[in-house]
Chains A and B, each alone.
Chain A
Amino acid sequence: MSRRYPEPRMFRCPDRLKPHYDAVIIGAGGHGLAAAYYLARDHGIRDVAVLEKSYLGAGGTGRNTAIIRSNYLTAEGVRFYDESLRLFRDLSADLDLNLFYSRRGHFTLAHSDATLRTMRWRAEVNKHLGVDSELVGPEVIRRECPQLDLSCGGHTPVLGALYHPPGAIARHDAVAWGYGRGASQRGVEIHQQTEVTGIRVQGGRVAGVETNRGFVETGKVLSAVAGYTPAVMEMVDVRTPLEVHPLQACVSEPLKPWLDTIIVSANLHLYVSQSSRGELVMGAALDPYELHSTRSTLDFVEGLAGHLLELFPFLGEVRVLRQWAGLADMTPDFSPIMGKTPVEGLYLDAGWGTWGFKATPVCGKTMAHTLANDRPHPLIEPFRLSRFEEFDLVGEKGAASVGH
């Protein structure tokens, strides 16, 4: 740190909790902090505490592969994620922080006729809703990413791809830090190392939250804790359809810039992009069974490396720098769960599976609206928790974790 040009702190650290807040947000990840930011900025609700049991951005926010896109399959999903992409575009200016938002162009490769059909379906839905997305043949992929071995070593040749030019990457921690700073500047308190251990409900209404630092009275609580949602909802006896699986990722050692597109293969279960630091950021499919642990496995890197070499054989000598895992709270229909709950004053932002980072701005905006008005924002109405009881699911087959 420079003495001559000291960097101001990103957010205030109040040393004690107040006995009462207008709203409490559980989870200081991107979603929780974005909700706090928009509550303060757009709705004038500034007496807000964001409670985080660990450190800011410790969960899925800092563990994803930072891809932003909106070429989903359902109209509900496309509208929602496209609004998020639109917000992301000028978020750096909005938060006055360089998020390294970088438009790359996103290719989802198809290695089979069945995949090609789904891609065509997605492209048509996307175009109908005004999203820049099209089905392209191998010649376009060769032009945009000449390093790719389209024959995949002869095993599963690439037949085409869903091409989404607005697909982008960004620095994920900065998104959380930017929202945190913006919220803090507007009066929101961020409390790290503060774990919510219970939610007090009186007459069907939220009365406050119990924490490891004492009781806090509040009439509105937002749970934005992704993989820890089932534990929070158990505090109020609300069942959810969430099943938690680890999602692993890794980065290579830094390389000279050579990959300026985002390459995803649905069939090989692989996604790869090159960060501004030169590392290849790579992810694969979910771990195959329920687990509430962020451990890494050799199985994962082995499988991923094998598939990566099918696409880019020249990477054989490149080393893996580090690997990690995050908790993905999967829903049965691959859409999130957002909005009100059976408990008055308790709001839910969950079910973020493998699609949470790209939704950060729109989640903040719509959940802030929902909290302020006690009415779900129209964009998230289809994602209500009660849709399962009503057998009215939103089957999002455009999610990264769905095989085609």
Chain B
Amino acid sequence: MKVMRCPVNGWRPIQEFSYGGAFRPMPQPGECSNRQWADYVFHRSGAAAVKKEWWCHLASGVWFIAERNTSTDEILETYLHGEDGHHE
């Protein structure tokens, strides 16, 4: 069984989690150009890499950040947004 560590609830089966997409800083909608906004809304860094992603533990509603290798599906770290990931 594949498991993931929720920063609040600990190790749980992967089925309890939902993928929320890549972590991407949002440009200010009022200040950026249409092109920059479209880039934020649609475009992705789609190639395989270690990526920072939003994940949600569905049972408790905790949203957090996971760093995951998208070629091997190895989850390297999980931590709450705003926290540094290197505490474990």
Contacts and interface: CB of A to CB of B under 8 A. Distances in A.
A and B physically associate = yes
A243 B73 contact: no
Contacts of B43: 239-241, 388
A389 B73 contact: no
Interface string B65-88: 000001111000000000000000
B38 A389 contact: yes
B72 A234 contact: no
B70 A230 contact: no
A230 B34 contact: no
Interface string B31-45: 000110011011111
B23 interface: no
A290 interface: yes
A242 B47 CA distance: 9
B46 A293 contact: no
Nearest to B15: A299
Contact of A242 (B19, B22, B34, B44): B44
Nearest to A297: B2
A319 to B, nearest CB: 23
B42 A292 contact: no
Interface in A284-313: 288-293, 295, 299
Contacts of B70: 244, 290-292
B48 interface: yes
Interface in B27-65: 34-35, 38-39, 41-48, 51, 53
A73 to B, nearest CB: 20
A291 B53 CA distance: 12
A247 to B, nearest CB: 15
Interface string A206-243: 00000000000000000000000111011000011111
Contact of B46 (A240, A295, A388): A240
Given A242-B44, A295-B73, A329-B46, A289 B39 contact: no
Nearest to A289: B19
Nearest to A393: B42
Nearest to A239: B43
Contacts of A229: 46
Nearest to A238: B43
B71 A388 contact: no
Nearest to B36: A389
A230 B47 contact: yes
B34 A389 contact: yes
Interface residues of B, number: 22
Interface string A257-298: 000000000000000000000000000000011111101000
A391 interface: yes
Contact of B44 (A240, A292, A389): A240
Given A288-B19, A290-B19, A290-B70, A388 B47 contact: no
Contacts of A290: 19, 22, 51, 53, 70
A209 B73 CA distance: 30
Contacts of B45: 230, 234, 239
Nearest to B73: A291
B46 A243 contact: yes
A10 B70 CA distance: 36
B39 A239 contact: yes
Contact of B47 (A231, A241, A332, A391): A231
Nearest to A290: B70
Contacts of A234: 45, 47
A390 B42 CA distance: 11
A391 B38 contact: yes
Given A290-B51, A292-B71, 16 more contacts: A231-B48, A239-B45, A240-B44, A241-B42, A241-B43, A242-B44, A242-B46, A244-B48, A288-B19, A289-B53, A290-B22, A290-B70, A291-B71, A388-B41, A388-B43, A389-B39
19 contacts: A231-B48, A233-B46, A234-B45, A239-B45, A240-B43, A240-B46, A241-B44, A289-B19, A290-B19, A290-B51, A291-B70, A292-B47, A293-B73, A295-B73, A329-B46, A388-B38, A388-B43, A389-B38, A391-B34
Closest 4 CB pairs of A and B: A230-B46, A289-B19, A292-B48, A241-B42
